[in-house]
Amino acid sequence: MYVFHSRRLSLLGVLLLMTLLFWRFQRQQDPAAEIAGVESGVLPPPPVVYFSTDQWQGFEKPSDDQLKASLTPLQYEVTQHKGTERPFQNEFWNHKEAGIYVDVVSGEPLFSSLDKYDSGSGWPSFTRPLVPELIVEEHDSSFGMKRIEIRSLHGGSHLGHVFPDGPPPTGLRYCTNSAAFRFIPVDELENEGYGEFLAAFSSKE
């Protein structure tokens, strides 16, 4: 009888271990499962930002010729062809000034210096978007990897990728390209039409 119970317990242990390993394998195969943790409650959701995105509803993306004329070659390659700039050799990787980062094509407010941190990657990294509704996530299987690409909603600009290895409070790392952004300092937010975000910086003073 004792041997029977021991074998039964051993079998249950093996089944539990196999279930756990299979679950972990599935999470590793699909990085979106980790990202989805924000919505499922596994990770804290980003704060609600009261900002009207109506002004971008009628945005018309410039033609390819117009983009080539208005953007630098690097900005064009990154935003339009999913290019990646060199780590530690880009404009904002170690940028510490207070302000927001907007889409270089559309002007959509995407990230804030308040959520920026040094990830050690050599690219600008953030724990969350400034206005989550303006970020589009898409599966990216390029270069034999499974990643989540992030793009701007209206400009359609490639920004970078999001990974589930960031610090609190979100556990996410939005790894981006400097070439996808135009930076607006705090003292220019009002004049540039982004006055709604001033309060967030005032509360940090």
Q: How far is CA 163 from the centre of its chain?
A: 8
What is the DSSP-derived secondary structure letter of residue 146?
-
**Cα distances (Å, whole numbers) of residue 96 to 90, 101, 103, 160:** 14, 12, 18, 20
Is residue 127 a contact partner of residue 115, using CB atoms and an 8 Å limit? Answer: yes
Q: Which residues lie across from 137 on neighbouring strands?
A: 150
Q: Name which of 59, 87, 72 is nearest 160 in CA terms.
A: 87
Dump strand ranges (E) for 6-106.
99-103
Is 76 in the active site? no
The C-alpha atoms of residue 157 and residue 105 are separated, in whole angstroms, by: 7
Beta strands at 109-112 and 158-163: parallel, antiparallel or unpaired? unpaired
**Cα distances (Å, whole numbers) of residue 134 to 45, 102, 130, 155:** 16, 11, 9, 9
Catalytic residue among 49, 175, 180, 189, which?
A: 175
- Catalytic positions, please? 175
